[in-house]
Structure 1
Amino acid sequence: MDSETRQLRALEAEVAALQRECRMLQNPGEKASGAWKSFQKFSQSDPEEWESLQDLRSQLGHLKSEVTFLSKLTGFNIRNYSKREDIANTEETENDTKKVLWRHRLSGNCNMVTFQLEFEVLEIETEEKKSSVITDLSIIMEPTEYSELSEFASRAEERRDLLMFFRSLHFFVECYEYRENTFKHFKEKYPDNVHFSEGTCSHCMEIHSARQPGFELVIVWKIQIDEEGKVFPKLDLLTKVPERALELDKNRVIETAPLSFRSLLGVLGIEAALDSLIRLFSADNN
């Protein structure tokens, strides 16, 4: 009977607890009031813990502002990030050496270029030191029309070089923005002479002669990334002139124009060289 009595009382206690919860749900104001009283009681009864919570909140705000600053400074915006331990590849050896394999995944963008990264990091810890090495790297980039970036991403994957990837992508975007702004500037300055078949985002700028119909110069401005990840602009000049003009060009001025343009770039720089070239074709030089 004693055991039955205890079970009965336990059931009655559970029923009473459920009834109290039901009353609180029916009267949410009472519940909120009780929660507020509990919060006040906590903040007053444990000031040290409350101060610690306030400090943590301040630190989180500071970190958030730093992340925002770094995003503006570098141009990178990381949207998603996850990290997990690969249990199957984690081991401890007899020499007190611990090996842990971490799998990382992140996605984000640098201006118009979006990317997804997946990489593995092997951490090796001994009594003397702790080291880590990237064992695998996979890169997906969009949009895919940037052929230079596709080749570069393949090299970064092969070398498993995250630092080179982020550094080179940053400078590539800077060069891309500089080219776009420069093309836009000359289109506004010489609207009758400068033309773009694909807008200012194109890598080609056409210069039409105001004096000689049929004469056209094309500036091909590509952004290259070398084997070491160095980013640099490469500009070439193409000429489109009537066949008769080539026959009359005894001094081979048109033929040597691309080489002369490269020399001009080395002396004046990109913007001044382009400005000089466009002015030669503008109506003001009649």
Structure 2
Amino acid sequence: MDPETRELRALEAEVAALQRECSMLSKPWRKTSGARKSFKKFPQSDSEGWESLEDLKSQLGHLKSELSFLSKLTGINIRSYSKTEDITNNEVTDNDTKKILQRHRISGNCNMVTFQLEFQVLEIETKEKLSSVITDLNIIMEPTEYSELSEFASRAEEKRDLLMFFQSLHFFVEWYEYRKNTLEHFKEKYPDIVYLSEGTCSRCMEIRSARQPGFELVIVWRIQIDEEGKVFPKLDLLTKVPERALELDKNRVIETAPLSFRRLLGVLGIEAALDSLIKLLCVEND
């Protein structure tokens, strides 16, 4: 085999691998029609449409650009991908039935969360139709301190739902980054009042009164994923006050504070509600 042919075969293999990675990223984001239309223009087999070595190199550059775009769009970076197939043919009455069992392995990351996926897809092809179904899914994610993600991964495995997995992971990471940046902002803005007991990745923000020693509010900010994969924040207010303060609270302001905080969130939003709470309770009067 001459050097040019070897280079051609190597480029074809790289193009095929990039096509698979682009396909894996584009499937969960069907609304990105521009990217999908662009991707569909590329040949879908190792040898289809390649007229020359330069043409192949050009298409390879386009695919790399497409993969980079999809990674930026979704926040998901595919580091490795592999697929194997087992094909069987069976006679069913007068029809030929082809069964293809595909075994996929993917590793990648979405910001600080790394994942490994192993799943099987069974394709059944007859003269009338082609159907496919995921028959097995195994998900491993690190780091493991995100309890919400651990529970979600178990549900995704049970449902064998890759679309839900990728979409929910993307939005979880977005909310995680927003929570981290928001809590750090308030720590910098009110360094003597706001405390993050778990550091920069804290889920709790403690607000200690500058006027009333022993009076403390704790904001617990969770990121929840429901049964359908929807990701949303859940903020709760806890109070830590001296017994004497509770006895003197005839209007039950402290007791009803958690409910009042939820209403405040609904009216002002997260950042404005937190800022108002700090200013109202903990900033010294001029």
**TM, length-normalised to structure 2:** 0.80
CA apart distance, 1:191: 1.2
Looking at structure 2, the residues matched to 103 and 80 of structure 1 have their Cα atoms a distance apart, in angstroms, of 14
Looking at structure 2, the residues matched to 115 and 126 of structure 1 have their Cα atoms a distance apart, in angstroms, of 35
Deviations 1:5-28 (A, max 9, x none): xxxxxxxxxxxxxxxxxxxxxxxx
The answer as to 2:170 corresponding to 1:156 is no
Cross-structure match for 2:207? 207
CA apart distance, 1:70: 1.1
What percentage of aligned pairs have identical amino acids? 84
The answer as to 2:227 corresponding to 1:227 is yes
Deviations 1:255-276 (A, max 9, x none): 1100000010111111110000
Looking at structure 1, the residues matched to 285 and 175 of structure 2 have their Cα atoms a distance apart, in angstroms, of 32
CA apart distance, 1:51: 6.3
Looking at structure 1, the residues matched to 123 and 51 of structure 2 have their Cα atoms a distance apart, in angstroms, of 36
The structure with the larger Rg is: 1
CA apart distance, 1:176: 0.4
CA apart distance, 1:283: 3.1
Looking at structure 2, the residues matched to 189 and 282 of structure 1 have their Cα atoms a distance apart, in angstroms, of 13
> How many residues are aligned here?
239
Looking at structure 1, the residues matched to 144 and 89 of structure 2 have their Cα atoms a distance apart, in angstroms, of 40
Cross-structure match for 2:42? none
RMSD: 1.9
For 1:100, what is the secondary structure of its paired residue? strand
Deviations 1:37-92 (A, max 9, x none): xxxxxxxxxxxxx96110110110011011111111111111111100135xx333
- Unaligned segments of structure 2, at least 5 residues: 5-49
- Unaligned segments of structure 1, at least 5 residues: 1-34, 37-49
Cross-structure match for 2:89? 91
Higher relative helix content: 1
Looking at structure 1, the residues matched to 152 and 283 of structure 2 have their Cα atoms a distance apart, in angstroms, of 42
CA apart distance, 1:127: 1.5
For 1:163, what is the secondary structure of its paired residue? helix
Counterpart of 2:225, as a letter, is I
Looking at structure 2, the residues matched to 207 and 79 of structure 1 have their Cα atoms a distance apart, in angstroms, of 42
Looking at structure 2, the residues matched to 213 and 74 of structure 1 have their Cα atoms a distance apart, in angstroms, of 46
Counterpart of 1:280, as a letter, is L
For 1:200, what is the secondary structure of its paired residue? helix
1:279–1:285 Cα contact (<8 Å) kept: no
Counterpart of 2:89, as a letter, is E
Looking at structure 1, the residues matched to 281 and 146 of structure 2 have their Cα atoms a distance apart, in angstroms, of 31
Cross-structure match for 2:25? none
CA apart distance, 1:128: 2.4
Cross-structure match for 2:20? none
Cross-structure match for 1:74? 74
Looking at structure 1, the residues matched to 222 and 102 of structure 2 have their Cα atoms a distance apart, in angstroms, of 38
Looking at structure 2, the residues matched to 51 and 159 of structure 1 have their Cα atoms a distance apart, in angstroms, of 44
For 1:152, what is the secondary structure of its paired residue? helix
Cross-structure match for 2:34? none
| Structure-to-structure mapping, 1:176-215, within 5 angstroms | 176-215=176-215
| Structure-to-structure mapping, 1:1-286, within 5 angstroms | 52-86=52-86, 90-94=88-92, 95-286=95-286
For 1:117, what is the secondary structure of its paired residue? strand
**TM, length-normalised to structure 1:** 0.80
Looking at structure 2, the residues matched to 135 and 84 of structure 1 have their Cα atoms a distance apart, in angstroms, of 15
Cross-structure match for 2:12? none
CA apart distance, 1:179: 0.3
Deviations 1:102-144 (A, max 9, x none): 1001111101111110000011111222221111111111111
For 1:97, what is the secondary structure of its paired residue? strand
For 1:104, what is the secondary structure of its paired residue? strand
